[in-house]
Amino acid sequence: MDRPFIFINSAMSADGKLSTKERKQVKISGKLDFERMDELRAQADAIMVGIGTVLADDPSLTVKSPERKAARKAAGKSENPVRIIIDSAARTPLDADIFKKGEGLRIIAVSNSAPAEKIKSLEEKARVIKTGDFKVNLPELAVLLKEMGINTLMVEGGATLNWGMLSAGLVDEVYTFVGNLIIGGKTAPTFTDGEGFTEAELLGLELLSAEKIEDGILLKWKIKGKK
């Protein structure tokens, strides 16, 4: 399948959570890891999050550093990568920060069962791509994104989208910043939620690097496929 190089970059607590049991955003990264994330964003052709993240965090998904934005412009690119929301039912709020902040193309991926009137209102703010009957068909979307010239795609989460991408075999590398805190909670989102693999489907990884950053550790993994 001709698709972009796809990596996930998320921050999780030492006990593997992405946020609290109320899905409240937690500042897990320190200054240096946010800097690292900003650099990853600036180097990426596109950034992708799920609608759950948009509804919980209202992220702008913009590049923060003026130097990085200038470097992108000097290279003839938009100051921000393409920003993509995976949103089966077209629930993205029209006043979401992602529409208000920064220049650059926004893409909302919806399923074929999304309400027509919601799609119509989103089309004034973003390019809407319809794929999948009830939930977004991620493999099909990946091929479309590659055809659009997106060669490097950064997935920032959340928990369910990470599952969707990993279980579809669409992820090449995973970068997890493990922060120095415990969040706990049976219902708190983890790095990978969703249905979960059976013993026969476990996903094998190759450790690429482990690096201490401030009080946390950055683990970089290459996906090897079924263990």
Ligand X SMILES: Nc1nc(=O)c(N)c(NC[C@H](O)[C@H](O)[C@H](O)COP(=O)(O)O)[nH]1
Ligand Y SMILES: NC(=O)c1ccc[n+]([C@@H]2O[C@H](COP(=O)([O-])OP(=O)(O)OC[C@H]3O[C@@H](n4cnc5c(N)ncnc54)[C@H](O)[C@@H]3O)[C@@H](O)[C@H]2O)c1
**Interface with ligand Y by CB under 6 A: which residues?**
10-11, 18-19, 23, 25, 28, 49-53, 56-57, 86, 88, 135-136, 138, 156-161, 164, 189, 193
Q: Interface with ligand X by CB under 6 A: which range of 25-33, 109-117, 189-197, 212-220?
A: 25-33
Q: Which of 13, 53, 80, 190 binds ligand X (CB under 6 A)?
A: 53
CB of 106 to ligand Y, least distance (A): 16
Of 27 and 212, which has the nearer Cβ to ligand Y?
27
Of 40 and 150, which has the nearer Cβ to ligand Y?
40
Q: Is 153 exposed, middle or buried (0-12, 13-18, 19+ CB in 10 A)?
A: buried
Note the helical H segments in 103-175: 116-122, 138-147, 159-167
Residue 81 binding: pick among ligand Y, ligand X, none (C-beta 5-8 Å cut-off by kind): none
For the stretch 192-218, what's the b/e string if a residue is b when 16 or more beta carbons lie within 10 angstroms of its beta carbon? Answer: bbeeeeeeeeebebeeeeeeebeebeb
- Is 87 near ligand X (CB under 6 A)? no
Cβ partners under 8 Å of residue 1, min gap 6: 139, 142, 143
Q: Is 191 left (phi over 0), alpha (psi -120 to 50) or beta?
A: alpha
Specify the amino acid at residue 61. Answer: L
Of 49 and 150, which has the nearer Cβ to ligand X?
49
- The residues of the shown chain that bind ligand X, judged by CB under 6 A, are 11, 25-29, 37, 49, 53, 57, 59-62, 156
